[in-house]
Amino acid sequence: MSNHYYSDKPQTAHDRKTTEVVLRGYSLRLVTDAGVFSKNGIDYGSRVLIDAMELQSGAQVLDVGCGYGPIGLTAAKLVPDGHVTMIDINERAVELSRENAKENGISNVTIMQSNLLTGIKRHDFDVILTNPPIRAGKETVHAIFEQSYHHLKTGGTLWIVIQKKQGAPSAKAKLESLFTRVEEVTKDKGYRIFKAVKEE
């Protein structure tokens, strides 16, 4: 199983590429590699999430399954007075995210390897963002939702992108079992963006 993007140490031979993208008005130069999610460029779902996500000034943000960093690094650009913690189980993805943060002069980030949210000690995030690893299975995806609930402060929001055909209805039902308020913010080419709010 060590050649999946959700393995901790991918064994795939390196195949580094540099891609230049504009996300939310910011130009980013991102290095990708084999053995990480969407290595040939930012996947459509991540783009839909990046365009939809709402971050308040000074927000404390967590990006779960950060890959090589497009979502988390864009978030860091959007909240220069806030902080973004970026986590991934994949060691190669974590190294790429660190490299990409440095390359783009982004310093308001903490990037670390973590299996789901087990390595995270804070429980006061304003926003958690995730394009969950669907191929890792429903249990893993639902575990991200459960753990995210406990790491959000009251009033905090969890933003998820998921394709209808990859389990959006069951994901929504799971979110509704945890959060009092779940909204479908947008849909685009079969991708759904859900925003779950942790209320009192």
- Comparing CA positions, the residue from 99, 135, 143, 100 lying closest to residue 6 is 135
Residues 63-119: tens digit of each pLDDT: 999 999 999 999 999 999 999 999 999 999 999 999 999 999 999 999 999 999 999
Q: What is the C-alpha separation between 18 and 177, in angstroms, rounded?
A: 41
- Comparing CA positions, the residue from 141, 121, 139 lying closest to residue 131 is 141
Long-range contacts of residues 15-23, Cβ cutoff 8 Å, at least 24 apart: 15/39, 21/70, 23/47, 23/50, 23/70, 23/74, 23/77
**Considering the entire predicted model, what is its pTM?**
0.95
Mean pLDDT (the chain, rounded): 93
Residues 5-41: tens digit of each pLDDT: 667 788 889 999 999 999 999 999 999 998 888 888 8
Question: Nearest 5°: phi and psi at 172?
Answer: -65, -45
Largest interatomic CA distance in the chain: 48
